[in-house]
Amino acid sequence: MSRQSLWASKVVALIQGGNASAALAQIKVAPTVKDVQALRALLSSANLLAKHKAVDAASSDALAALSSPRLHRSP
């Protein structure tokens, strides 16, 4: 049984509170793919993806960036 991500619920609370710019900053530094997927699931269940197009775009970009292999990793 896996634990629900606290990060995702905190970002959703930021969006619901009207602080979308802080949520976008958090999405850009998302910890894992699983956290971004949990965030998108919470946002879609609350119908917030349709209302906040920038959050939708940022979360899909973060999901793509975290799930793809990296060409170079700094030491």
Q: What is the pLDDT of residues 5-57, one digit of tens each?
A: 799 999 999 999 999 999 999 999 999 999 999 999 999 999 999 899 999 99
- Give the chain's end-to-end CA distance (angstroms, integer): 34
What global pTM score does this model have? 0.83
pLDDT of residue 72: 61
| Beta-carbon count within 10 A of 30 CB | 22
Alpha-carbon gap, residue 15 to 57, rounded angstroms: 14
Confidence check: pLDDT of 1 > 60: no
Confidence check: pLDDT of 75 > 70: no
